Structures are given as structure tokens and as C-alpha cells.
Amino acid sequence: MLLLKSEEMKAVEARAAAFGMSYQRMMENAGAAVARNIRVLAEQKKLQGRTAVIVCGKGNNGGDGFVVARKLHESGWSVRVILAGGLPNSEQARTAFSQMANLALPTYRFDGDREKCLAAFEVADVIVDAVFGFSFYGEVREAQAALFAEMNNAKALTVAVDVPSGVHCDSGHCDKNAVQADMTVAVSALKPAHILHPAAERCGSIVIASIGIPEDCFHEVKSALTTCSAAEIGSFLPMRPTTAHKGTFGHLLSVCGSRRMPGAAFMAAKAALRCGTGLVTAAFPRSMYHTMAFKLTEALLLPLAETEQGSLSRQSIPTLLHEIESDKYSAIVIGCGLSVCEDTAAVLKAALEHARVPVVVDADGINLLSANIDILQNAACPVILTPHPKEMARLCSLQTADVQAQRTDLAKETAQTHGVYVVLKGANTVIASPHEDTVYVNATGNNGLSKGGSGDVLAGMLGALCAQGLSLPQALCAGVYLHGYAADVVAAELSRTGMLPTDVIEALAKVFAAFEH
């Protein structure tokens, strides 16, 4: 599912116009679609009244709003219109305004009829934000801030046309004075602002409204960002035939843990088992054996030589390489709780140089790479890096704030520079491929995942899906989506504050039940 930036959406509309669909028809269809969704919302919310205030800007988003006003009036609603910045200035918007004006709907200018505007907000059941749409940039001006404050303070439900005003369509940033919508009707396609935080928080619930643009018009536009629906994720997951056996669903080797962080090894392996992997072998420092044997009853255990500090030692490498080169594994996870020292750096280097299956490198594995990124040049396998923002900052020699300010671009640049897949975790985890320019943006999950161990769970899930034979893009998109989905299920039941990473693992069985073929 594409996330279209403003210029990409304009290109789609231009293609539609070239195919014979006029811009006026697109505006008419957009306004009608928004009005239709408002009527549905009113039924869902059991609104007692049917009074709407349509706040319109001077551009084409305002033109959509004039159509909304006309369509709601024709269906029996009491409608008032507020001009946020004066009369419309585009040809299509002027035509829509003229058609609406013929109905003699009460129309006020916020800069001249403020008291009437405020009175309209007082009695409104629904306020429609049709001021900027995807065209907003810069900062909200003082007069606009005053208008948006009145809209946000009103008791009415607020519906935004395409993008809430004051929200940057392409970046996901938003002005502090932006409109807070209860519902946003995305015209034709999702935009980055509908998914990326903090903008997504201003959108409320999202409804995608088709306006009749031919599908071919979308296919010809190369989008920089994409996301997945639940249906798409379900299509990625492997079939589980009646005649299947444990060998059908792959074998994951999880090389994780240290004396101080045994839980990381447990969570990665347990999450992998919950994701349907046929076999999981957990490799760890031998002093963890009793803990792992007690907690991890379904996995095969591979205790290895360790340092005095309880990390994997260089002496473990021959045994580990014998396993890796045996061809019995279909994917590897390495790094969760591994600790950072010269011995673990040697273990990681050896694993990457000898593995021939996808390797998910997480946590301390990434910290080790930060000190010697050239290790990746000799990797003989597909590599997936799963940094959180601080780990990404170390990897790229940046500040964490710099990473957060350019998440999608930085993930793509890192993936293509080093020939690896990058899963940059955080609010809207993003996935970049070394082979594609389009970056996947995830829409599931919540801040209850902001706890140590959540990344270990994700690493195990990604390894599990890779082990089951999914293509790497599908495995990564599905793993990230399901990780967030499970967290949303847990948060709804237990709270975001109280949830734990192990709760997410336990919720995975329920989540997969919703996707069973």
C-alpha cells in the first residue's frame, strides 16, 4: 500500500486528468466521499443532531469543503460555512464555491465575522477541516492558530479533509497549533502524515476514500514510502499444510545472551517459537544452561565456551562454525544480550563470514559493528540490522536526534551503502532494502514497547519468519507488523504502562489465530 507524498499525489492527479478525468470531477468526487463518510460517522457515533460547520481555505482543499457543504445540505443537514482566508483562489474551488452559494448557505469570514463563527462552533455536531489538506508547509500563522484553537476547543467531532491543517503531509511533523481531527478522510491514498508520528496522532481514525482515479495512474508513480494492511501481511505468511512436520517450517539458530543478560536469549528464542518455526536452537554461554533449560523447554540448547565475565569466548567459534556450516539452519539471530568485548566481536565476525542463510543482527551485535562496520564487507550472507535510534546513531556516528529527524532517508542510505537490510525501530519502525528505493513504514505498535527486551522479541520474530522461507522483505514487514499488532493487543488488555515484552510473546498465539489460513 503506497504512501503518497504531496508531489506524488499531484502526479497521480495529473495522470488522471490526462486520461480524461477533469480536476473539477476529482474535487466533486472527493467532497462527495467526505460527506458520505461524515454521514456514516454520525450513525456510528449516534449523533442526535445533524449540524455541520465546514471551514474552508482558499485552495483546492477548500474547494473540496464547498462540495462537502453542498452534499451534506442536500442530505438534510444544517450547514454553515466559514472562510478561513477569504474567497477561493483556484478555478476549481471558485466553481465549487459558486455551486454552493446558489444554496444560500450561511457563510462567514473568520477575519470579519468572528462572533458568528464562534457561535457556529458552539452548536456544531461536526466540524469539517478543509483549510490546507496536503499543501501546508512552514508554520501556522497567528490568525490561523486562533481559528484552529477554536476548532480544537469545540465539543463537535472534527473531520479533516485529506490531512489535518497544520500537519506537514510528507514529513510527519506538525505545527503545535495544528487541527486535532477525530477522523481524517484520506483522499485517494494514504499520505505519510497518516502513518508517521507525531502527525498521525492529529489524524484520529483514518478512512481512505476512492474518488474514481484509475489504478493505472497510481502504478506509474514511484512512491518513496509504503506500508501494509492486515490483509497484505496475511498473504505473506506461509501456508501450513496438513502433512507438514517440524522440518517444514525451518530451523533457527539464536546466538544470544551473556551472564548479565540471559533474558535476552530467552525472549529471542521464545518469540521465534511462537512464530511457528519448526525448530529453534539457542546457543549461549554455558553458565546460562540451567536458566535456559528451565525456561526454554521447547528449544534445542547449545551451551558454548565463555569468558570469565560470562560472555561467549573465542573458544566457542569452532563449535559455532561447525553448527553454522552444517546446513541444518535456515536463518540465524545474533546479538541480543551478547555483550561487547573482543571475544564477542570475533564470534560475530566469524558468524557473518561463514553463514550462508539470512542473519539478523540485533542489539550488541550492532554495537560491535559500530566499532568495525567493515565486517559487513566480508559477510557471505544476507544481513538484517535491527537498531533502535541510539544504536543507529552509534552505527552512523550521529546524534540520536539526527537519526530521528531523518529516519526513512537514513535507513535507506545505510541499507544501500552497506548492502544490508535495515529495520530502524521506534515509533513507526521503518524497513529499508539494499535493492529498493522504497522504504516500508510500519503502522502498528505503541509506546508500551518502550521497555528493555522488546527488541529481543522482534529479533526472534524476524529470524523465525526468515527461517520459514519468506522472502526477506515479506519476513521483515510481517515481523514488524505482527510485533506491533501483538503489542496493541496486550496494551488494550493490560495497559501500555504495565505490559512487558514477555506479554507480547504470549499474545502472539492469539495474533496468529487471526491470520490462520
Domain holding 178: CATH number?
3.40.50.10260
Its domain, for residue 448, covers 230-237+247-513
Smallest Cα–Cα separation from 379: which of 410, 357, 411? 357
12 within some domain? yes
Smallest Cα–Cα separation from 265: which of 276, 273, 250, 254? 254
Measure the CA–CA gap between 208 and 281, rounded to whole angstroms. 44
71 within some domain? yes
Written as one letter, the residue type at 247 is G
Let me know whether 213 and 285 are in one domain: no
**Residue 393 near residue 399 (C-beta atoms within 8 A):** yes
The grid coordinates listed for 303 are 551451551
Let me know whether 359 and 417 are in one domain: yes
Q: What is the pLDDT of residues 442-483, one digit of tens each?
A: 999 999 999 999 999 999 999 999 999 999 999 999 999 999
For residue 490, give every residue at least 6 positions away whose Cβ sits within 8 Å of its Cβ, in sequence order, or none.
448, 499, 503, 504, 507
* DSSP 8-state symbol, 167: B
343 within some domain? yes
SS3 state at 31: helix
Q: What pLDDT is recorded for position 517? A: 60
SS3 state at 388: coil
95 within some domain? yes
Domain holding 454: CATH number?
3.40.1190.20
Let me know whether 310 and 432 are in one domain: yes
This prediction's pTM? 0.91
Q: What are the C-alpha distances in Å from 358 to residues 60, 252, 324?
A: 48, 10, 12
Let me know whether 330 and 293 are in one domain: yes
Asked if residue 35 has pLDDT above 70, the reply is: yes
Let me know whether 261 and 353 are in one domain: yes
Let me know whether 218 and 254 are in one domain: no
Q: What is the pLDDT of residues 283-308, one digit of tens each?
A: 999 999 999 999 999 999 999 999 99
**How many domains does the chain contain in total?**
2
Let me know whether 206 and 254 are in one domain: no
- Laid out side by side, the sheet with 279-285 consists of 2-3, 225-226, 439-441, 430-432, 421-424, 383-386, 359-362, 331-334, 251-255, 279-285, 300-304
Let me know whether 136 and 280 are in one domain: no
Let me know whether 171 and 315 are in one domain: no
Q: Residue with C-alpha cell 563470514?
A: 353
Let me know whether 18 and 85 are in one domain: yes
Measure the CA–CA gap between 212 and 281, rounded to whole angstroms. 52
Q: What is the DSSP string of 448-471?
A: GG-STTHHHHHHHHHHHHHHTT--
The average pLDDT across 130-152 equals 95
Domain boundary among 188, 222, 256: 222
242 within some domain? no
Asked if residue 366 has pLDDT above 80, the reply is: yes
Let me know whether 78 and 213 are in one domain: yes
Alpha carbons within 13 angstroms on the beta-carbon side of residue 133 total 29
Measure the CA–CA gap between 118 and 125, rounded to whole angstroms. 14
260 within some domain? yes
301 within some domain? yes
114 within some domain? yes
Let me know whether 251 and 292 are in one domain: yes
The grid coordinates listed for 456 are 529481543
Q: What is the pLDDT of residues 385-432, one digit of tens each?
A: 999 999 999 999 999 999 998 999 999 999 999 999 999 999 999 999
